[in-house]
Amino acid sequence: MKAGRRGVSEHIVSRGIYAGIGATLLIFTGITYYAATVDLGPFNVVVALTIATFKASLVVLYFMHARYSPRRTQLVIVAGFFWLALLLGMTLSDYLTRAWQHI
């Protein structure tokens, strides 16, 4: 990078990485599409969400540069997902254990 006012933290991700990540995302879209046509019982949800989480991680890490971000930014991202996990985890552990409601 040319000398500029932006400091040392900026990292330019190469075009090759972007292309590789984009292709991987498309391939996994195809995989999740076909996985949905196979009856895996309760595991259809698991497979679909695992693939979605994997794809989202790639987008966050590479397209959104989280992998090359300063520690402070990474902390904000992790904290955000931590609170989301609390929200989902605690609410669902309540709802899904209400056996008397025959869920």
Partner 1 sequence: MWIFLITEIMFFGGIFLTYTINRSLYPVVFGEASRELNVRMGGMNTAVLIASSFTMAMAVWASQTGKKKQLTLFLMLTLILGGVFLGVKYFEYAEKFHHHLIPGRNFQFPGDVGNRAHAQLFFSLYFGMTGLHALHMIVGAGLLLWLVMGSLRGRFTPQYNTPVELVGLYWHFVDIVWIFLFPLLYLIDRH
Which residues sit at the interface with partner 1, rule CB under 8 A? Answer: 1-2, 4-6, 10, 12-15, 18-19, 21-22, 25-26, 29, 32-33, 36-40, 44-45, 48-49, 51-52, 55-56, 59-60, 62-64, 73, 76-77, 79-81, 83-84, 87-88, 91-92, 95-96, 103
**Minimum distance of partner 1 from residue 96's CB (angstroms):** 7
Smallest distance, partner 1 to C-beta of residue 3, A: 9
- C-alpha separations of 13 from 53, 60, 72, 73 in Å: 22, 13, 19, 17
CB of 2 to partner 1, least distance (A): 6
Angstrom distance (rounded) from CA 59 to CA 39: 28
Tokens of 44: 């259809």
Q: Is the CB of residue 21 less than 8 Å from the CB of residue 75?
A: no
Q: Which two tokens stand for residue 24?
A: 């991987």
